[in-house]
Amino acid sequence: MDYYLSYDIEYKRTFNGVLIDSRSAIPAIAGQLGSVIKSFIDKEIALVTPEVLPYKIESSNGNLAGYFTIRLNSHSGFLFQYQLRPPFVQFNAEISQIINNFIKSNSFSQDYTF
């Protein structure tokens, strides 16, 4: 399956949906009350600052697979946050390689000017 990475203007909605879908797989919020989950999601969203670029991961069918963020430093970036929805965890190695290639090739530089 092919995956597409795109800059995510609506990252708050994406993070919310992915994290709620993945809550049972995240130890910090597995089996917790809704207020704990909401607080966790809010903290994850708050990590997106001007130095952090949010991206969504979509399958070739248009399904949301997850999200990741890139934290920028002087002239490069590194993977900062990464979460896949449960149906896509089995493709983690493939998706991780796509993200690594995206970062190594500086493809994110079109979304930010240093």
Query: pLDDT for 60-99, tens place per residue?
Result: 999 999 999 999 988 789 999 999 999 999 999 999 999 9
Residue 81, amino acid: Q
Q: Establish how many alpha carbons lie within 13 A of residue 77's alpha carbon, considering only the half-sphere containing its beta carbon.
A: 29
Q: What is the pTM of this model?
A: 0.93
Q: What is the pLDDT of residues 13-47, one digit of tens each?
A: 999 999 999 999 999 999 999 999 999 999 999 99
The CATH class given to the 3-111 domain equals: alpha beta
- Segments making up each domain of the chain, as ranges: 3-111
